[in-house]
Amino acid sequence: MSPSLAFAALVTLASQAPAEPPPSPPATAPAAEAPAPAAAATPAEPPKEASPAPAAGPPTPAEPPKAEAPPPAAAEKPKDEKLALVLGDLRFSPRAQLRVRGEYIGDRTLSAGYPATIFLHRARGGFDAEWKDTAKLVFELHDTRGWGAETTAAPPAPQDVTVFGKVANSVDLHQGYVGLYLGPTELRVGRQEIIFGNERVLGLGDWGMTGRAYDAIRVSNKAPGDFGYMGFCSLVRDIDHVPTMTVPSLALCAAGVEHKLLPAFRYAPAVLVELTDAQTLLSRATFGARVDGAVAGFSYDIDVFGQTSWVGDAVKLSYLAGARAAYEVDTMMHPKVGAMIDYVSGGDPATSDVVTFNTGWGTNHKYYGFQDLFTNLPVHTLNQGLLDAAANLGVKEGPFSAQLAVHAFAPTAYTGGGSAFYGIEPDLVAKYALTSYLAFDLGGALFVPIGDALGRGTNATPWGFVAVDVKL
């Protein structure tokens, strides 16, 4: 069966959208341009999809949601408004972003190899056009590349690669979709950003210069509030378009709801399924829920997910659980103290019925340390799972914010000898947001391996970055 059939269900769902609006839609969660997902706090993240992604710099490490702020006082200086041209019922808004980041990367093999210094950039441009209560159109191109990574043809073509060269596939359509308003429901068709809740299982991956976008059909409620829903199906790859492809076609479908019962309690169940046209139609299913809330300076965020994977004729199980809590003091610098723990199951698919939870669609940079040594599970942990315990301290005053986090990593299914430990990693990041359009970020980390569970060397490796992000 072709995974393309999954789209039909969503089209039917959209045509049956209720005429009467449901209870106020869900409160949006943090994150970039993705719309408010059902199980999403914004499709993290549910924020407005039309708004641009957050300014450069790493997302705050697995930090629980912050208490909602009261409306500003009348005498307070208004925040910068988004640029827009209004012509009757048509509202036209430009999209533009330039992010440049330099990174110093130590030897990731932990074997005292040579470090690397790289510069990366993202340039995006496009527009939003919205017809009141009717429809909207979003179009956004982007170019992502590493400085000096351009290539040229063989001699005698010009060999000054930074001037005459070209980076293959660097310019692409990041978003291009039409949204139709059907009462309280919005139907989106085309290439779009999508995120669920805190991006634990489905996120933008915005730390990477390319980020993620999906060719999808999606149905969701169009306004934020206390209740929301979202469902979509996306063709990730289609062998009918690439006959030489050696892997099966793949479709990703997901659905979820979000309900805020109290200021201190919101729950958001979700399910994701991956469909292929291989012998086993359903290749992986992920299901679970998130609960979070904030009151009187205290905030928490808990998620639990299970996963079933089909390996040949066998069904493998895996699971993930995480908890984060923090307390913010309402005083100068607004210090916030927090702690978190994440447990990711592990196991060798060849010998175990419980295997490593696959986090391939999530935004792992914000959870497992900024060095990104554990972003690709199970590959980076050799199928041994991951236990990550961390403590963090953050401060914020005006346009300045900073955070220190210390992680301790260990396997959850270690079968080797010696020390069953991966290592420790302190992370320190800071941001100065000069305006809502311009921000500067810098930070660093040091991973210190302990034991040999990672199967790499035993040398500590540093990492650092500095970035500027300009966005309309």
Per-residue pLDDT reduced to its tens digit, 54-97: 444 444 444 444 444 444 443 444 445 678 899 999 999 999 99
C-alpha span between 361 and 115 (Å, rounded) = 29
Q: Are strands 250-262 and 400-410 parallel, antiparallel or unpaired?
A: unpaired
Position 351 scores a pLDDT of 85
- The CA distances from residue 30 to 94, 207, 279, 297, in Å, are 22, 14, 39, 18
Residue pair 354/347 in contact (Cβ under 8 Å)? The answer is yes
Position 280 scores a pLDDT of 61
Residue pair 172/191 in contact (Cβ under 8 Å)? The answer is no
Residue pair 422/455 in contact (Cβ under 8 Å)? The answer is no
* Residue 465 three-state SS: strand
Mean pLDDT for all residues in the chain: 82
Which residues of 88-170 form beta strands (DSSP E)? 90-105, 116-131, 135-146
Structure tokens at 204: 């933008």
Q: Which CATH architecture has domain 3-471?
A: Beta Barrel (2.40)
Position 332 scores a pLDDT of 94
DSSP tag of 70: P
- The CA distances from residue 412 to 230, 342, 382, in Å, are 33, 11, 11
Question: Which among 151, 154, 231, 241 is positioned nearest to 196, based on CA atoms?
Answer: 231
What are the residue boundaries of the structural domains of the chain, listed by start? Answer: 3-471
Query: How big is the CA angle at 59 (ends 263 and 370), to the nearest 5 degrees?
Result: 135
Residue pair 65/301 in contact (Cβ under 8 Å)? The answer is yes
Question: What backbone phi and psi angles, to 5 degrees, belong to 335?
Answer: -60, 140
pTM: 0.78
Could you read off the pLDDT tens digit of each residue along the chain, which spans 472 residues? 444 444 444 334 344 444 444 444 443 333 334 333 333 333 334 334 434 444 444 444 444 444 444 444 434 444 456 788 999 999 999 999 999 999 999 998 888 788 999 999 999 999 999 998 899 999 999 999 888 877 655 565 555 555 555 666 678 999 999 999 998 899 999 999 999 989 999 999 999 999 999 999 999 997 767 899 999 999 998 878 777 777 778 899 999 999 999 989 999 999 999 988 766 667 899 999 999 999 999 999 999 999 998 877 788 999 999 999 999 999 999 999 999 999 999 998 888 889 999 988 999 999 999 999 999 888 899 899 999 999 999 999 999 999 999 999 999 998 776 678 999 999 999 999 999 999 999 999 999 999 878 888 889 999 999 999 999 8
CB contact set of 301 (below 8 Å; sequence gap of 6+): 63, 64, 65, 198, 290, 291, 292, 322, 323, 324, 325
Position 57 scores a pLDDT of 45
What b/e sequence results for 130-156 when a residue is b if at least 16 CB atoms lie within 10 Å of its CB, and e otherwise? beeeeebebbbebbbbeeeebeeeeee
* Residue 462 three-state SS: strand
C-alpha span between 354 and 359 (Å, rounded) = 15
Position 32 scores a pLDDT of 38
Enumerate the β-bridge partners of residue 414.
none
C-alpha span between 440 and 357 (Å, rounded) = 35
Question: Which among 275, 257, 273 is positioned nearest to 308, based on CA atoms?
Answer: 273
- Amino acid at the residue 395: V
Enumerate the β-bridge partners of residue 295.
298
